Amino acid sequence: MGSLLDQHVLVLNRLWQAVNVCSVRRALTLLFSGHAQVVLETPDGIFQTYNYLEWYDFSIRQPHPESISTISFKIRVPRVIMLLFFDRLPTKEVKFTRHNIFERDKNTCQYCGRVFDKRDLNLDHVIPKDKGGPTTWENIVCSCIECNTKKGNHTPHEAGVKLIRKPKKPKWRPFVQINFNVPQHDSWKHFVDIAYWNVELGEDVK
């Protein structure tokens, strides 16, 4: 029973978008409290939602091997639930760290475009600090030692160098907090396209 309660359930928001993965235990708690409904595909391919009482009745009418026994009844394990009070996609702030700047710029000097080992790259203020340049995503770039020396304490225009791309704050995809290394249930397929979920994550997230 314990292992069944610890298995994974896909969580959708009210717009039917996958936003998280939780345990069966957590899913049942959300169902009991009225914060979520179970989503189940009918044999004719229609997705139907069930509140707690409806799911309880369904579990009695159609016994299923994946059920959890309580003292007085058995309830089927849900595999997909929909949150009733959540229609946003989760966002995640990107930490402004040296590591993440290297990740954003892909270890590439933003002036000459060559790729270097991290040890051979500096972080450069595009507009120098003593000229009012802030220490922000939009004003910090990776720079090789040669370009950094050439640019010195000047703006790119003054130093006669050009940025290969304008620096900006990277955006996490809204789905990155979902751990899709967990075993996936067949019923998730409609909501989770692996090719889509995995795109670019390796480049942005560490």
Q: Same domain, yes or no, for 86 and 178?
A: yes
Q: What is the pLDDT of residue 183?
A: 62
CB 176 within 8 A of CB 92: yes
CB 111 within 8 A of CB 147: yes
Looking at the domain assignment, is residue 47 inside a domain? yes
- Nearest-angstrom CA–CA distance, 52 and 57: 9
Task: Indicate if the pLDDT at residue 145 is higher than 70.
Answer: yes
Rounded to two decimals, the pTM is 0.50
Amino acid code (one letter) for 53? L
Q: Same domain, yes or no, for 73 and 11?
A: yes
Q: Same domain, yes or no, for 64 and 109?
A: no
Q: What is the pLDDT of residue 85?
A: 81
Which class for 117: exposed (0-12), middle (13-18), buried (19 or more C-beta within 10 A)?
A: exposed
Q: What is the pLDDT of residue 3?
A: 79
**What domain range includes position 118?**
98-159
Looking at the domain assignment, is residue 64 inside a domain? yes
Q: Same domain, yes or no, for 82 and 179?
A: yes
Looking at the domain assignment, is residue 169 inside a domain? no
Task: Indicate if the pLDDT at residue 126 is higher than 50.
Answer: yes
> Which residue, 155, 149, 150, 98, is CA-closest to 132?
155
Q: Same domain, yes or no, for 153 and 137?
A: yes
What average pLDDT does this structure show over 175-181? 48
